[in-house]
Chain A
Amino acid sequence: MSMPWTRCRTALQLALVIASTLPGLALAQQGFDSPPRPASAQPLEMPAFRQSRLPNGLGLAVVERRSQPLVSAWLLLQTGAVYDPVGKAGLAELTVAMLGKGVQRTAGVVSASELAAAVEGLGTQLEIGSGSRSSQLGVTVASNRLDASLGLLAEMLRSPSLAEDEFGRLQAQAADALKMGRSDPAQLGAQVARRLYWGESPQGRQATAATLARIQLDDVRAFHRLHVRPERVTLILAGDIDAGQARALADKHFGKWRGPRQALPAMPALAPKPMAAKTVLVDLPGAGQSAVLVMAPAAAPSPVPLAQLQAETQALEVVTQQANALANTVLGQGYSSRINQEVRIKRGLSYGAASGIEALPGGAVLVTSAQTKHESAGEVAALLQQEIRRMASERVPDPELVARRSVLIGEFGRQLETTAGLAGLAADSLIRGRPLAELSRVPEELAALDAESTRLLASRHWQAERLRTVIVADFKQGGLALRQQFPDALLLKADDIDLASPTLKRGGRR
């Protein structure tokens, strides 16, 4: 089923707004002194997203797009870092990475090298990674190589070798990657910010050299057994394929897969447990720029799965999360967002300022960020704070609201143009627990959001006292001014940071 939707109303209203602000509108129309009007909008063609389950519980999501002989084949796993045992942060990430590091066949072990050569011999590369509550592995591949690709992906899920030597390598690489991140002000700032906001909740626990060293291969094997099972996996196929072909391939490669008898792992409580400090200043000697992050709580998704809510509550939940997205777009998405206007366009203080929302059942946070020269770090922090607060105190004017809604809707539309974009939309919906058939409603729902929805949200969460700020700077340049601007700040030296410590300082007791 395809649900046509027209962007006409939004777009035309906006065009009129633009025209009225143009210089030279009063001039005669015969020359080139003002832009021509846009034509009338064409309806957006929504492809059908089809969702089903195999008898063993494995989910299947299919969306057809035939523009090129390509298919994106992703396996979405309902597991991630929030399931890491206390003290072993990084276990989910290592386990998922290990799925790509060799498989066990009856004839013997296929090494990581041989596996990579097999995948890449199909003309593709394995994309593999894990997030907070979901992980994925998959490929985008020429459609004539899909069958063979799925064969390899199925082996990775069901019979990874989880070999000792591969595990040793991965652990060493992960330790080096941590070291690299520590020298980048933006990455270090993001890690500190995450700890500051989420604290000692699952989302606040991050991998460190110590937690990585503590993880044994047996932990990986146990995590794999418990978490990687058909009831917790969805196969997403997007592109040059129809529902019938997709079902046949899913049956062929995953139909005989049986899960373990163990009970399904329960999702831990994810509500944030913020640290007491409102501001953290980190000294990173030699940093080429300061990283500035300002956070505020955002409307948390319901801890109860969407499907289990009453219809009315469900609708409210959808609107709330979309209002979150719209507020985020007004504030920090795209070139013309408010913080980019203030920080970059008006003042030239940064290459760019942007925001994002990290949302988990029971907790959510808005993160605004920018990089700037050390002398401007305090000014940038004040601007980010001011713009977040302004969202709570003033309604977003209509022309801006219409424009920012168009940004969201336009981005959604462009995601429909690629196989990976379609697979990504399906994955997002699955993670949120929303039926895929409802994706066709999204453009209309976004178009219906009003200024009141974002103001309500902002006024509930975005007052001055709820903001938290992290600045990573070279204190030799501008550190004194920062300490004066934030007299109550927690001061840290980059080398002394321990992300696992409740005080963020090495030696602080857990």
Chain B
Amino acid sequence: MSSKYRNDKTGAEEELVARARRRCMLAGAGMLLLAAWNPVAQAQATASAEPLAAPLKIAPLAFERRILANGLELIALPQAGATVSVQVWYRVGGRDDPAGRSGFAHLFEHMMFKRTRYMANEQFDRMTEDVGGSNNAFTADDMTAYHSVVPAHHLEPLLWAEAERMSNLSVDQANFDSERAVVKEEFRQRVLAEPYGRLFNAVPRLGYQLHPYRRPVIGSIEELDAATVQDVSAFHAQYYRPDNAVLIVTGAFDPVQLNRWVNHYFGSIRQPGGPVPRVQVVEPRRARDELHQLKAPNVPLPAAMLIWQGPKASSADAPVWQVAQGLLAMGESSRLNESLVRRAQLAQSAGFEAQLNADAGLLVAHAVAAGKQSASDLVAPLAKELQLLAEEPIAPAELEKVKAQLLTAALIRRQTPLGLGEVLGEAALLRGDVQWVNRELNDLQAVTAADVQRVLKRDVLRGARVTVLYEADGSAPKKKGGKP
């Protein structure tokens, strides 16, 4: 038995993506967790690979949705149990970091657990953790989400607290300085201390050309140092307003009572005049391939990464990429693991993620070398697997396998109020339509081999590629006098 080391709060840096990354890089001989990403519900499960198994009956998520007069969107889904989850998802993320302030949206997220007009520092923790609940938050490129779970009878105080920090945040220099120091330690821990932290932190900068997505959500030490208390107040006024938020309540509650409380605590929050500022930059099509060599201290084994441009999260091709990702990288029998790790024994681990954001996306394939392989040895075999997927027949059973895996992963997430709320929030903010939760598994079941090959040919075979070679500082160059 191992002791439990846990970092609470701070969910932070692109949690949706980061979870998947961490898993892929570390998946060696140890435990594998299910499903990198976020499949969601469907009205009915169809095709089951096993003829003998009775088909599953999956009820649609019967949520209620309404918009308050001040623009706040409420999504409520009751589920029997002892706890309730309250989540507030704001339409603001790393893409909205002010110029010269990369990492700001995330740093701001930390400040939301500090003082408000009527709450003391960390009183939010007193009202959640101390009563047997939990709280956390994360900042991604397109969104910042605050999510708590409490015993059901604590719902009303928690709604009060969320409304309070939406409308009455107070900021002071001492709190700001200490939270900034925490975020800098977070940067050091995730980017500098983790063996492949620098590599994954480089993905946005190398993958995007123009869009603000090219700044990592965690930011940089210099730009975190440049932020001020005034920036915090301005950011709150600009983005933390009812018409820029989705309130999601899932779990054990009485819908009539909930509506009354939401009207009371949130209905009175003033809607500011003027629209919420939005990033208007359109990411251009990449024109040509690039090669980057990154060196870092303390790299145990070299790694290679290939990046292509992908569609937006709301694209009709998003489910196709979800299936393609499953074929390539979900589980031990996935193609990258089977070919690079197992058969060729070139890689210690290999992965693929379709990192689809609201405005643009990236497709990222990566491998960590096994034994004595160099980073450049990994490039051709990695690219070859994507080409095979694009051009060679895909067995029906393999496709069915991935669909079954995505279905199980969706059911697992739906077990808890926290998971249900996350599914609804991702649909509403990332896919742009909460109704999507009741379509997505049908969409996934409908994906065909031809669909998979169409998007791979379009986005990967015909797309420009960024290649990243990652090696230890001072590792011997391949050829004397060769290019740096």
Contacts and interface: CB of A to CB of B under 8 A. Distances in A.
A344 interface: yes
Interface string A369-401: 101110000000000000000000000000000
Given A116-B331, A287-B298, A289-B185, A174 B5 contact: no
B368 to A, nearest CB: 8
Interface of B: 1-10, 26, 28-34, 48-50, 53-58, 79-83, 117-118, 120, 122-123, 125-127, 129-135, 149, 151-157, 160-161, 163-164, 177-182, 184-186, 188-195, 197, 252, 265, 268, 297-301, 330-333, 338, 341-342, 345, 348, 368, 370-371, 397, 400-401, 404-405, 407-408, 411-412, 414-417, 473
A170 B29 CA distance: 7
Contacts of B53: 144-145, 148
A404 to B, nearest CB: 8
A414 B348 CA distance: 35
A85 B187 CA distance: 41
Most buried by A among B54, B79, B194: B194
B299 to A, nearest CB: 7
Interface of A: 7, 10-11, 14-15, 18, 21-24, 32-42, 44-45, 67-70, 93, 97, 112-113, 116-117, 119-129, 131-134, 140-145, 148, 169-170, 172-174, 176-177, 179-180, 182-186, 284-289, 291, 333-336, 340, 344-352, 354-360, 365, 367, 369, 371-373, 402-403, 406-407, 409-411, 413-414, 416-420, 431
A117 B194 CA distance: 31
Q: Which 8 A-B pairs have the closest CB atoms?
A: A288-B192, A356-B3, A410-B132, A286-B297, A348-B181, A123-B404, A352-B7, A403-B130
Contacts of B31: 127-129
A141 B408 contact: yes
A142 B129 contact: no
A331 B149 CA distance: 22
A256 to B, nearest CB: 21
A284 B417 CA distance: 43
A35 B150 CA distance: 15
A346 B177 CA distance: 11
Contacts of A34: 118
B1 A132 contact: yes
Contact of A288 (B58, B127, B197): B197
Given A23-B120, A120-B405, 10 more contacts: A37-B157, A124-B34, A126-B332, A177-B348, A180-B301, A288-B298, A345-B178, A354-B4, A355-B5, A416-B82
A288 B196 CA distance: 11
A292 B8 CA distance: 18
A120 B331 contact: yes
A173 B348 contact: yes
A346 B178 contact: yes
Contacts of A11: 131-132, 151, 153-154
Contact of B81 (A141, A174, A349, A417): A417
Contacts of A24: 118
A41 B79 CA distance: 17
A97 B29 contact: yes
A372 B405 CA distance: 39
Contact of A148 (B50, B133, B163): B50
A183 B193 CA distance: 9
B415 A68 contact: yes
Contact of A410 (B8, B131, B186): B131
Contact of A348 (B118, B155, B182, B412): B182
Contact of A144 (B54, B153, B157, B181): B54
Contact of A172 (B123, B127, B371): B371
Contacts of B134: 334, 410-411, 414
A410 B83 CA distance: 9
Nearest to A376: B185
6 contacts: A39-B156, A70-B408, A288-B197, A410-B132, A414-B149, A419-B415
B348 A176 contact: yes
A10 B297 CA distance: 50
Contacts of B160: 32, 35-36
Nearest to B190: A351
A351 B49 contact: no
A349 B185 contact: yes
Contact of A335 (B9, B189, B370): B9
Nearest to A96: B29
Contacts of B333: 113, 116-117, 119-120
Given A35-B157, A174-B29, A354-B7, A121 B397 contact: yes
A346 B174 CA distance: 10
Contact of B1 (A97, A182, A285, A359): A359
Contact of A120 (B79, B177, B332): B332
Nearest to A443: B132
B130 A129 contact: no
Contacts of B6: 333, 352, 354
B475 to A, nearest CB: 12
Contact of A40 (B7, B79, B153, B473): B153
A93 B29 CA distance: 9
A334 to B, nearest CB: 5
Given A18-B130, A144-B53, A126 B189 contact: no
Contacts of A356: 2-5
A42 B298 contact: no
A287 B193 contact: yes
User: Which residue, of A42, A122, A125, A349, has the highest number of chain B Cβ atoms within 10 A?
Assistant: A125
B401 A120 contact: yes
Nearest to B416: A417
B105 to A, nearest CB: 17
A97 B132 CA distance: 37
B182 A344 contact: yes
Contacts of B164: 32
A38 B131 contact: yes
A10 B129 CA distance: 13
A68 B188 CA distance: 40
Contacts of A409: 132
Contacts of B416: 414, 417-418
A35 B118 CA distance: 9
B178 A347 contact: yes
Contacts of B48: 144
B323 to A, nearest CB: 14
A336 B4 contact: no
A245 to B, nearest CB: 13
A170 B300 CA distance: 18
Nearest to B405: A123
B411 A131 contact: no
Contacts of A431: 1
Contacts of A32: 118, 160, 163-164, 265, 268
Nearest to A419: B415
Contacts of B4: 333, 354, 356
A21 B299 CA distance: 50
- In the complex, which of the residues A38, A42, A287 has the most CB atoms of chain B within 10 Å of its own CB atom? A38
Contacts of A145: 50, 53, 404
Q: Which of A23, A169, A335, A407 has the most CB of B within 10 A?
A: A335
Contacts of A67: 79-81, 415
A356 B181 CA distance: 25
B415 A417 contact: yes
Contacts of B397: 121
A355 B8 CA distance: 12
Most buried by A among B34, B53, B131: B131
A369 B193 CA distance: 15
Contacts of B404: 121-123, 142, 145
A407 B28 contact: no
Given A176-B370, A335-B125, A413-B151, A350 B182 contact: yes
B372 to A, nearest CB: 11
Given A117-B401, A356-B3, A345 B122 contact: yes
A166 B308 CA distance: 34
Contact of A131 (B1, B132, B184, B193): B1
